[in-house]
Structure formats: C-alpha cells, structure tokens
Amino acid sequence: MTFENKLILLIPARSGSKRLKNKNLRKVNNKPLLYYKIKACLNTGLGKVIVSTNSKKISKIFNQYKIKTPFIRPNIISKKYSLDISYVNHAINFFHKKNIYFKFGLILKPTSPLRDVSEFKKSFKMIKKNKNASSLKSIVLTSQTPYKMWLIKNNKIKPLLLMEKKEMYNMPRQLLPKVYFQDGGFDYFRINYKPNVKSVSGDHIIFFKRENKHLLDIDSKIDLKKFRNKIENNQKTT
C-alpha cells in the first residue's frame, strides 16, 4: 500500500556537539532542551514528526514523548560539518522504500527552541498556496548589515559585497537596504513525493518574517542562559 503524506517534520538532533557539549540534552527547567522542540512539534498537528539522530540516548527521550525515531542516522552523515541535505535525503529515502511519500518537508532544529505554533501553520499555508515556491525560510530583521562588513585579503580589507552605489560602507545605516537574517526557526521545502531532493532551498525561496524576540540559536553557555531566563520569566508571568 502507498501512503502519500502532505508533510514530514524532521528534527535533526545529533550527538557529539563540540562547542556546547551534549547541548541537546542540557536541562532547562528540569527538562532537556529537546523537550521544547518536542512540545512545539506535538502542538502543530501538521504531519508526521520524525527525529533524525545518531544517538540511542536521544532517541529514547523522543520516544518518551511519543515522537518516533524509526532509524538511527549513520555517523558518516552526522559529523560536525555534515550538510542538512544528507540527513534529509536519508530520511526521505528511508520512507520512500517503504512506499511512504511526502509532498513537503519541514526542518525544525532543537537549538532554535523559541517558536510560536501559529507561525508553523501560517507559513505552511504560504508554501502550499505558492505553487512555484521550492522552499520557505523564516527570517528576522537584523541591525547588522553586510554593507559594512569586510574581508581580509593580502593584509588589506575589501568590502564583503559588491556596492550598488559608491562607498556604501560609509553611508548611514538608515540609508542602506534592510537586511534579514535566516534565523533557523523553521525551513519548509518541497519534495513532491520524490525519493530525494537536490536541494533543501531550490531556486524559488519565499519567506516568513518573524519578530527578533524569537531569534535565539543555542550554541554556547550564554545562549543557554538566555533561554533559561526566558522560560523562567514566562512562568512568572503566566
């Protein structure tokens, strides 16, 4: 029997992080960081939620909260610099061999835990409605502008970007184009029931603007402390 599903929600959660050791298992309010991603996923009701991990310990945590880990991801595609497309295609192909096909995919990284479930639903409607969209990325307005950034080469600096006007790096920031940052909140991509994808972005990328208050990618002890403070403050006001 063939099962065609609209959406697969992929949570990549590998072990072996270097900068913040075991960050996916770090406790926040007596719960692992993973819990906050799990909670968001269970509240969406959008599709099949799957965790892609190379760790049996992480797998057990997800299973406790009724999120399936149907496979253990090979270590060869779970290294520090492994690309998203590696674990994405591994998961898609796993299900395709079982005659389970998906039209869309959604990547939800555990290290970006601040999410509003309503954003998932609104953005999913956007990519479904836009038939030409190959993917959708969440973005936030940033105060840092690449028009004032430089590359060091041969003991000299050169502008990071080609300038549309002369010496834009000397212009007031308010006169420069607004710049948005890919915040890692969520990434939708189109699969169209294929066994793999060539890219998780494609050529026609649409966007969903989020507020800066959601911008938190946990990659250090300072980031983890900020998240703990947010959780504690939310509890005090509810």
| pLDDT of 112 | 62
CA distance 34 to 69: 14
The overall average pLDDT reported for the chain is 82
| pLDDT of 236 | 46
CA distance 117 to 227: 18
Of 11, 60, 78, nearest to 38 by C-alpha is: 11
Q: Inform me whether the pLDDT recorded for 35 exceeds 80.
A: no
CA distance 120 to 227: 20
Angle between helix axes 33-44 and 117-129 (nearest 10 degrees) is 50
CATH code linked to domain 3-137+182-237: 3.90.550.10
Residue by residue, DSSP assigns 150-201 as EEEETTEEEESS--SSTTGGGS-GGGSPP-EEEEEEEEEEE-TT-S--S-SS
| pLDDT of 95 | 94
pTM of the shown model: 0.81
Nearest 5°: the CA angle 209, 180, 200 is 75
| pLDDT of 79 | 87
Name the pLDDT band for 1 (thresholds 50, 70, 90).
very low
Q: How far is CA 137 from the centre of its chain?
A: 9
% of the chain with per-residue pLDDT over 70: 75
CA distance 121 to 233: 26
| pLDDT of 198 | 96
What residues does each domain of the chain span? 3-137+182-237, 143-178
CA distance 92 to 108: 15
pLDDT tens profile 117-151: 788 889 999 999 999 999 999 998 988 899 999 99
| pLDDT of 109 | 78
pLDDT tens profile 179-201: 998 888 889 999 999 999 999 99
CA distance 194 to 32: 34
% of the chain with per-residue pLDDT over 90: 42
CA distance 219 to 17: 9
| pLDDT of 69 | 84
| pLDDT of 129 | 95
Q: Inform me whether the pLDDT recorded for 29 exceeds 80.
A: no
pLDDT tens profile 62-113: 888 777 788 999 999 998 889 999 999 999 999 999 999 999 999 987 666 5
- As given in the structure block, the two tokens for residue 218 are 């946990």
Of 192, 10, 182, nearest to 106 by C-alpha is: 10
Cα distances (Å, whole numbers) of residue 209 to 120, 143, 178? 12, 15, 13
